[in-house]
Amino acid sequence: MTAYDARLGLYIAGQWLGAEGRETQPVRNPATGETLADLPLANAADLDAALAAADRGFRAWRATAPDARAAVLIRTAQLLRERGDRLARIATLEQGKILAEAKGEVAFAAQLLEFHAGEAQRIYGRVLQRPAGTRSLVLHQPVGPVAAFCAWNFPIMNVVRKIAPALAAGCSIVIKPSEETAGSAVEVLRCFQDAGLPSDVAQCVFGVPDMVSRRLLASPVTRKLSFTGSVPVGKHLAKLAADTMMATTMELGGHGPVLVFDDCDLEKTLDTLVAHKFRNAGQVCVAPTRFHVQEGIYDAFAHGFAERTKRLRVGDGLRAETQMGPMANPRRPEAIAAMVADARGHGARVLAGGETDRGGNGHENGSEGGFFFSPTVLADVPLEALAMNEEPFGPIALLRPFATVDDAIEQANRLPFGLAAYCFTENGRRQNLLGDSIEAGMVAINSVRLSWPDSPFGGVKDSGHGSEDGPEGVAAHLVTKTIHMM
């Protein structure tokens, strides 16, 4: 198997389009900084062709029987699994996450497709009672062509999470995945194509993000925006979407509070949290970021967290022994270094890491050019520090003590974000109180898992609106029509 064998291109109207006459952009390996391949970028004519195809594709696909739509999703899941090792390798090479995580992503993406295949066949309406011989019908119909944009952090799953509910509902789609992880996305699209998805139903484009989103969102063809990415970009796109009053699903950033109480199972909690914190080098929208720890166990928690963190093996994600890979691009280590410097300036203590690390702590990948940052633990971080207020999106854990449950809830709800929150306590009454009081779309209690195909995934406040996955994810691609038959 060649190292990186993604066949990059734009996928429009069932055709793969290469670099001929188009600008290109390199796709890089974040473990080494090397260029893997050149990605063709869409021009305005390509985007117009994609929109025209999506318009045609919508008319055909909405008229396709639900079981036929489901069959394509099931077959795509099979192909993803069959090609899983190759896809995972491509994802690791271009995004940096360790191979085991990339394989897990493939498996979850296949489950998402299978779940949505079921949901495609469970789109129901209602019959309302009226005088005899008359009735009213409530129908749920596909909203129309979707413009979707997704980030690089889950290069396989993010793409499937956008396409699967759209297709289940009967919508067509134009998706612009991240240019930085284009290979994973194109290989997912090839699975859909090979599974028999009719041409015109799904288009995949890459380009200059601002140009692409402005063109797709200004078009009257597009009836829904679905975005996964940062809060500032999400707000910008929601404003563009308002011009045509299209439906929106916004899956934006978070700053996940972790409330750890004196009565938790400390060793188990530490083992769980350290592994979860540094998954994908902390570049996860639901990553635990702010660790609020009750005073009685704060010192033991900080010590245990730092010791476990120091033992993590950092390096190239393709190497079997690696536990944390590089960050996805050079912007991230720079941003994290600035946050660490700022926190130190405000008096935070560095318990582990704290430095940019060009080759990973193993220095065995033969390169000093990667985008590494060492797994970092900062204690006693003041609320004024930048990292306590902006989404870190990297391998830093921020620790602070708290006294009472009210203090903990106040801290959890302090920021404008409301995506994920985590609580560790054995007290059942307190678990209920926390579940009710925390302003977040998802709360995990004595666990870190927040994502299953059948459960809604999404945030509140600045973290966005609308859910993905679960029946809610398909419902977000439907409009309601009432027909009164008198």
The residues that touch ligand NAD, with contacts defined as CB under 6 A, are 149, 151-153, 178, 209-210, 213, 228-230, 233, 237, 251-253, 285, 331, 391, 393
Q: What is the Cα–Cα distance from 152 to 176, expressed in whole angstroms?
A: 11
Q: Where are the beta strands (DSSP E) in 18-69?
A: 24-28, 35-40
How near is the Cβ of 109 to ligand NAD at its closest, in Å?
15
Q: Quick one: 198 exposed, middle or buried, by C-beta within 10 A (0-12, 13-18, 19+)? A: middle
Cβ proximity to ligand NAD: between 270 and 443 the closer is: 443
- Say which residue the tokens 């560790």 belong to: 424
Give the CA-trace dihedral at 325, 331, 337, 338, to 10 degrees. Answer: -160
Q: Which of 151/478 has CB closer to ligand NAD? A: 151
Contact 60, 201 (CB under 8 A): yes
> Which one, 285 or 421, has the nearer CB to ligand NAD?
285
Least distance from C-beta 216 to ligand NAD, angstroms? Answer: 9
The DSSP string of 259-316 is: EE-TTS-HHHHHHHHHHHHTGGGG--TT-EEEEEEEHHHHHHHHHHHHHHHHT--BS-
Q: By C-beta, is 42 or 270 nearer to ligand NAD?
A: 42
Query: Measured from the CB atom, is 330 or 362 closer to ligand NAD?
Result: 330
Burial level of 451, CB count in 10 A (0-12/13-18/19+)? middle
Whole-angstrom distance, CA of residue 280 vs CA of residue 180: 15
Q: C-beta of 282: minimal distance to ligand NAD in Å?
A: 10
Are β-strands 135-142 and 126-129 bridged in parallel, bridged antiparallel, or unpaired? antiparallel
Q: Which strands sit side by side in the sheet containing 126-129, from one edge to the other?
A: 126-129, 135-142, 478-485
Smallest gap from Cβ 252 to ligand NAD, in A, equals 5
Q: How far apart are CA 106 and CA 91, in angstroms?
A: 10
Using DSSP bridges, classify how beta strands 24-28 and 35-40 pair: parallel, antiparallel or unpaired: antiparallel
Q: 347 vs 292, 343, 355, 378, 415, CA distance in Å?
A: 17, 6, 17, 10, 21
- CA pseudo-torsion sign 84, 16, 112, 70: negative
Amino acid at 463: S
User: Closest distance between ligand NAD and the C-beta of residue 419, in Å?
Assistant: 7
Report the nearest approach of ligand NAD to the CB of residue 187 (Å).
17
Of 285, 391, 423, 468, the active-site residue reads 285
Residue 129 and residue 320: Cα distance in Å, rounded? Answer: 63
Q: How far is the CB of 334 from ligand NAD (least distance, A)?
A: 10
Candidates 179, 180, 251, 468; catalytic one: 251
Cα(332)–Cα(287) distance, rounded to whole angstroms?
Answer: 15
285 catalytic? Reply is yes
Instruction: Write out the catalytic residue numbers.
Output: 251, 285
